[in-house]
Structure formats: C-alpha cells, structure tokens
Amino acid sequence: MPRFEILESELQKLVKVTLDGDGVRAEAGALHYYRGRIDMQAGAPKARGFLTSMATGEGMVRPVYTGKGEVFFGPPVFGEFVLLELRGETWILDQGAFVCSDLSIQVDVVRNKGSSALLGGEGMFQTSVSGTGTVVVFSPGRVQRVDLRDDRLAVDGSFAVARTGDVAFTVERAAKSLVGSMASGEGLLSIFEGTGTVLLAPVANLYQAISEVSIAVPETAINRKNVRSSVLRVVVVFVLLFGLLAFLFATYALPRLFM
C-alpha cells in the first residue's frame, strides 16, 4: 500500500506519497513533482467523465501514478490537507476537495436531493469516495471533527468539507417563517442529521498564516525609521507618476486642444 504523509514547510503543505510497486490516483493538476521510476497513466476522458467533471468541479481524468519512488501533490495557496482512513465506509466530499487516494478507493458522484441541491452551498452533485484505504482531502482551513449520534447539526454557511455517507443533508430556513429567517439574519442553514461524522473548516487558514507571520516579525522591525522610509518611497512614486502623466498630457493631449 502507498504511504501518505503531509509535509509542512514555511506555512505551506505538500502531500508526499511513497510508492513501492503500487499506485496512487490523483486529481488532474494536483501533481507538484515526483522522483524515482514513476509511470503516469491518464486514459482518454469518457462522456460520463465529462458530465461528472461539469457537475462536481473535479477533473475529467484522474491520472494514476505507479512504480517505485515518491510523488508530491500540492501545495495549496491557502488551505490544509486532511488524511481520511476509510475502512469500508463511504464519505461525501465538498466540490473540489478530492486530492488523491489509494487505487482501492472508488471515486464516484452522488446527487443531493430537491431544494437542498438548489439552495445548499454544496451544490447539486458531490464527489463520493468509498472502500478501504487512504483519501487525501483539501480543506480551506483546519478541520473540526463533529461526531453525531442520532443527532442534528445546523451550519450557517458551506464550510462542511466532508461527511460520512450515512449522514443526511438538507437545507432549511433558520426560523419557521420566512420573515423570521430574514429578521434573524441567518437565512438558510445546512442541516446534517443522523449518525456519522462531519468535517467542518469554520476558519480559513489565511488568517492563521497572517497571524503566524505577524508573530514571527520582531517588533524592532516596525519602528519610526521604517515608517518614515515607507512614506518617503510612496511620495517619490506618486511624484514620478504625476510627472509622467503631466508629460504625456503636454506632449499628446495639449497640442490637439489648439489644433
């Protein structure tokens, strides 16, 4: 079986998959680089694959990498990678969340029903993964795991990254009446109900990255001298830009006014 790892360096993350004569299936365009004797195969897209791609936002063709070596996927500009270990169950993924998986994992499409498909942020179609093995999922931020036991979870927004297949998904008004929903400022809520697990990414890690960078910058780097220097550079750029515009006006526009 392939070995999956999440590598982190300077707030960026990569998925490293070590192959030893086996293979990994990935989303089209997810490859960053690979080393070793790796063979990549990508079959011609089929009509059903085209329709699936249009419906879910995933690629029409998912390349398969086999051989011996290391394959690296990513990195996302802002976001996280999450490892899902499937043991014969099914997970429903948010659109664009699938990154790569074992070849033993079956990747398919499920359709959300009725008004939930039209009104929910998850869309009419979503990607499903099932079987036994590892699936790598992209999330816009750090994941919060919510386990439900014959319970109900209401989410104001479309930040549910994944859910197990036994969890029912619907969209409902925040209040019983339309006026009450509008007055509350909440509008529609995504409802997850049943027994299973929902993965939420309530906070995008853009803010986390900015916070960590801010902490890493020494206070001495932000002083009056640096501020004065920055202001001076802005003034110089403004003066040069104004001079360029005045030159262009005097050279091209002004003579035409007196023609």
> Which tokens belong to 96?
């664009």
Q: Is the pTM of this model over 0.75?
A: no
Using CB atoms within 10 Å of the CB of residue 88, give its burial: 0 to 12 exposed, 13 to 18 middle, 19+ buried.
Answer: exposed
| CA gyration radius, the chain | 25
> Which residue's entry shows tokens 């969890």?
167
Measured over the CA atoms of residue 214, residue 218, residue 223 and residue 228, the dihedral's sign is negative
Q: What is the pLDDT along the chain (259 residues), one digit of tens a residue?
A: 899 999 987 777 899 999 999 999 999 999 999 999 999 998 655 545 555 555 545 556 899 999 999 999 987 667 889 999 999 999 999 988 999 999 999 999 888 775 555 555 566 788 999 999 999 999 988 899 999 999 999 998 778 999 999 999 988 877 565 444 444 445 688 899 999 999 999 887 665 555 555 545 554 443 444 445 555 666 777 777 787 777 776 766 655 555 5
Q: Report how far residue 116's alpha carbon sits from residue 179's, in angstroms, rounded to the nearest whole number.
A: 20
Measured between its terminal Cα atoms, the distance across the chain in Å is: 80
Amino acid at 1: M
What distance in Å separates the CA atoms of residue 19 and residue 167, rounded to the nearest whole number?
33
Q: Are 120 and 190 in contact (CB under 8 A)?
A: yes
Residues 98 and 127 sit within 8 Å (Cβ to Cβ): yes
